[in-house]
Homo-oligomer: A and B are copies of this chain.
Amino acid sequence: MEILKTKAAMRAWSAEQNAAIGFVPTMGYLHEGHLSLVERARAENRKTVVSIFVNPAQFNDPKDFEKYPSDLEHDKALLEKSGIDALFLPAREEVYPSGVPKLRLSYDASMARLCGKFRPGHFEGMLLIVHNLLMWVNPTRAYFGLKDYQQFVLVKSMARDLEFPLEVIGCPLLRDADGLAMSSRNVRLSPKGRAEALAISRALKKTQADFPRLKNNLAELKAAFATELKPLSIEYAEICDADDLSEATGRAEPTKQYIAAVAATVDGVRLIDNIFLN
């Protein structure tokens, strides 16, 4: 596994490969969710690149940025074992030599919803770093976890609208045995907080189970979903069109896919989760 620390080295490595490159961008503190993306990238491409960069520009809350967990040596060992070809590990000054650019990439309407509503600037910062990672790595395929479902939809739209010649692939969310969606932030939960947080995945599974019965009344499905989540401090709990993330009310259309999505804060840790309903 080569470790590349500059944009120039990353670009040069990519240009030399003459092979399909799979790319998994991460913020480190890797868990099985990340590794499932790496596995898929390796299966579908001749070469695989992972990046680790905790992007300050996408943290609307500076405290969340400061507390974001990190264990680079452990990450490196996991990636070495996973058999990837290159790790892109740029320093902050390499990525933003003159500070975070003032250029804003925005889908105004879809960013005003779900996480975007509660994390001003988050998705703009995310799109900027993903755009630039794609410029440096120049992959054939890029892999994103579906846990960050709104992120996946926005990245897929950006890659299409800004004419990146690559495929954006969404990979299933993974859960721990107790049902909690895997996240680097879970390490910040106390045992009590973790037990409380299980209400999230329980509510999602119940909503998925309720869907066939309530698919002609999605407003009622949403209300039932909210009731399940009542003990928690909820930012949003919504039933959405999985394509464009618009709110789904009334009757479900048979040709469309729907998703239930939730953000909640437990122990001061912001957790997100979602489930496909059909």
Which residues on A are within 8 Å of B, measured CB to CB?
7, 11, 101-110, 128, 131-132, 135-136, 157-158, 160-165
* B162 near A131: Cβ-Cβ < 8 Å: yes
Are A103 and B136 in contact, with the CB atoms below 8 A? no
Residues of B near A161 (CB, < 8 A) are: 101-103, 128
Are the C-beta atoms of A103 and B103 separated by less than 8 Å? no
Q: Is the CB of A135 within 8 A of B164?
A: yes
Additional 5 contacts, C-beta under 8 A, given A101-B157, A104-B104 = A11-B165, A102-B110, A103-B158, A131-B163, A135-B163
Using Cβ atoms and an 8 Å threshold, which residues of chain B touch A158?
103
Q: Which residues of B contact A165 (CB under 8 A)?
A: 11, 135
C-alpha gap A47/B104 in the complex (Å): 33
- Do residues B132 and A163 form an inter-chain contact, with CB atoms below 8 A? yes
Contact call B105/A105, Cβ cutoff below 8 A:
yes
How far is A101 from B157 in the complex, measured between Cα atoms in Å? 9
